[in-house]
A and B are shown apart, each in its own frame.
Chain A
């Protein structure tokens, strides 16, 4: 090849732990997809409510508000762990990553345990009636994602702990936070709908 105009990029970094990384954008796509799904599900809940004379359907208890509300505290705080881990991933600070991921796992685990305890107090399931179908759809879909993210956070924790990691895994720690922030943020409207919904848009009280 004879002399040509070239643009030399050999000085550029070999990887990037920030919102410029393709992987970060990939996580953003997951957020768009799941956000749309939950938005439509919330819309469908209210659509269904409008077509019913009595809400919640007769026989369904009003959900308890205390435990789900208290469970929000560890859930929201778990984002601190995520932030700490992501920030440490950028700086390649192993202790910080372990601390952040660990804090996230513990707090998210507590919130999950509280959610499961709360399930057992519901006197309806998905087969009982339409409200049951919706409440359990929200719970099922969100908890499925929630556990999935916890498992992968745990895997990252193990990888960092045993030292089997490089920039790519640190990038994993960083981008994992995108989905976690989303799962926490989307839970708040879902919480309002399934626990406060019967109170706010119900026929009694």
Chain B
């Protein structure tokens, strides 16, 4: 069946369908019910809020560190506490803020943009969230019981091994990684399937919004990168708990292997954070420049190329090890290559803005801020890709400056832009634009004040991860500037929170499509009901909401008395069959708790792997046990 031959004018019974949809998509009541939610808006929002709290935690840790470094020989923090803070800061920001935040946004936005009602596996989605929450609690339980990790966020052995870091802190860290891996893999799997099989009829791959492309690329990267960190953290954990020798040089193991495997994950990880941010930028640029993107195909191809190249760069994190020159030279070349694919995208955005009719909204301010900061970070990246220069500034503040420019510039600025762009969709109210612009400038100035001096500090030789320095080094003034900047960033963060709190109550009512944007999420009500759309949309254009209203098409014939969606084909999104999504369930939480018992327990006693597997298996069987009446009935 093809979409075109079955399109005909009809007058659907809207009131009846909406009433039934409301009933079949209603959330269960009570506390027990709250733990059973499976809608993507609820789970996505939980991810976003939890990850935002983690951003605040990581931010407070950064403020404490910056306060310590404010002047020479400061006694605000002890050396040990400082080690714990920089490790927890890096770990929190990478694993508990950045990745889950990007996932939360994708869980919220992708089903809306694809024109469907939920993700492909709603209960897996809930399960992934609970696992992530336990990971957060586990790490911070360690932090508050004086067992915070203190070996740096990449936990190189032998420092992180049993000989040099006795006690449980490294084990907590390694197992927290396991929690976040499982969660990320759940989300990646369900998003790939949602994007591949549940797009609106007519949304062929070449009509897919660039944000959805970015999430597809990112999810595949998660699938291929996370197994590496599974191995790296398991190597470390099993060496520490059951005396294996994977990274133990005394018995033939190899610490460098850990570095290889860690960075085979670790480098793609950066792009896992940053590619969705490029998707935000594309969505914001199109909506706020009010024109179609320039170079759609080039954008998609360079985004995917970014994803591939990301797996061929990892050794540039290891230039200071005794690798063969020829190997290192290859990684210099591949590292510089990433500038090409990133450059293509930057030029496409600039061209779109140049030739469009940009509205200078707060969201677009953040895009401009992103371009400025990210290009600077990219330039210091090209510098670092060169081996002699890298050896000179390795492990100095120059590197710290570089990766904060690319990560905050490349991911956090677009993220704030995305908050301003999609807040009306998520809450039904506009954010305050005047406060938003103030928010942007405070963050932009604070950011540059904090991190620009670090370039110079690094060139002057200040190593990262030192808790203090002596006055004769001459690093005082720049450090003081950076500390002032950090506090300015904090003010910017508070302005954002104030804006959110104020706008939620007092913001102007947004309506469905306040920006007159192009993609399907703006066709839903603000905030979207649990079922997203009264009638699933069908699309005929890359910019479905910019098509004249009379030419828009809706899908009828999916049942509204149960959670039914449409499955379409991979390439052309032709309708294929109907699919009943599972409803609310407590079992994802129960299974999550059982898996967590296994993970947490195994830090203390390896037998918990077995016990955890048994109870998790039982929980999964209960989860899948068919409840009567069986749906769908046989035809």
Binding site for B on A (CB under 8 A): 1-16, 20-22, 25-26, 29-30, 32-34, 36-37, 40-41, 44, 47-48, 51-52, 57, 92, 126-127, 129-134, 136-137, 144, 148, 151-152, 155, 159, 164-169, 172
| A151 x B553 contact (CB < 8 A) | no
| A6 x B554 contact (CB < 8 A) | yes
| B231 x A40 contact (CB < 8 A) | yes
Contact A129 to B577, CB < 8 A, known contacts A3-B11, A166-B630: no
In the complex, chain B residues whose CB is within 8 Å of the CB of A2: 11
From B6, B192, B227, give the contact of A40 (CB < 8 A): B227
The closest CB in chain A to the CB of B558 belongs to: A9
Chain B residues 612-635 with CB under 8 Å of chain A are: 613, 617, 620-621, 624, 626, 630-635
Q: Does B121 have its Cβ within 8 Å of any Cβ on chain A? A: yes
Q: Does B80 have its Cβ within 8 Å of any Cβ on chain A? A: no
Q: Shortest beta-carbon distance, B535 to chain A, in Å? A: 8
The closest CB in chain A to the CB of B120 belongs to: A22
In the complex, chain A residues whose CB is within 8 Å of the CB of B189: 26, 29-30, 33
| 23 pairs, CB–CB < 8 Å, chain A vs chain B | A8-B8, A9-B575, A12-B1, A14-B632, A15-B577, A15-B580, A20-B569, A21-B567, A26-B124, A26-B189, A26-B190, A29-B189, A29-B193, A33-B223, A36-B224, A40-B228, A47-B257, A48-B253, A92-B634, A127-B244, A131-B252, A133-B245, A151-B621
Lowest 5 A-B CB distances belong to which pairs? A10-B557, A166-B630, A130-B252, A37-B227, A29-B189
Q: Shortest beta-carbon distance, A132 to chain B, in Å? A: 8
In the complex, chain B residues whose CB is within 8 Å of the CB of A13: 577-578, 635
Q: Shortest beta-carbon distance, A53 to chain B, in Å? A: 10
| A7 x B577 contact (CB < 8 A) | no
Q: A13-B635, A22-B579, A32-B223 are in contact. List 18 more A-B contacts (CB 8 A).
A: A4-B554, A6-B12, A7-B7, A7-B538, A8-B10, A9-B557, A10-B556, A12-B1, A12-B566, A12-B578, A15-B578, A21-B567, A22-B197, A26-B189, A36-B228, A130-B245, A133-B253, A137-B238
Q: Does B458 have its Cβ within 8 Å of any Cβ on chain A? A: no
The closest CB in chain A to the CB of B575 belongs to: A9
Most buried by B among A9, A47, A132, A155: A9
A130 and B121 alpha carbons, distance in the complex (Å): 40
From A5, A32, A129, give the contact of B553 (CB < 8 A): A5
In the complex, chain B residues whose CB is within 8 Å of the CB of A12: 1, 557, 566, 575-578
| A165 x B630 contact (CB < 8 A) | yes
Contact A8 to B556, CB < 8 A, known contacts A26-B121, A32-B223: yes
Q: Does B188 have its Cβ within 8 Å of any Cβ on chain A? A: yes
A16 and B197 alpha carbons, distance in the complex (Å): 13
Most buried by B among A11, A25, A36, A92: A25
The closest CB in chain A to the CB of B18 belongs to: A1
Total A-B contacts with CB atoms under 8 angstroms apart: 214
The closest CB in chain B to the CB of A49 belongs to: B252
The closest CB in chain A to the CB of B124 belongs to: A26
| B631 x A168 contact (CB < 8 A) | yes
Q: Shortest beta-carbon distance, B4 to chain A, in Å? A: 9
| B567 x A22 contact (CB < 8 A) | yes
| B624 x A155 contact (CB < 8 A) | yes
| B9 x A6 contact (CB < 8 A) | yes
| A22 x B198 contact (CB < 8 A) | yes
A14 and B185 alpha carbons, distance in the complex (Å): 28
In the complex, chain B residues whose CB is within 8 Å of the CB of A32: 223-224
Q: Does B246 have its Cβ within 8 Å of any Cβ on chain A? A: yes
Chain B residues 550-590 with CB under 8 Å of chain A are: 550-558, 566-567, 569, 575-580
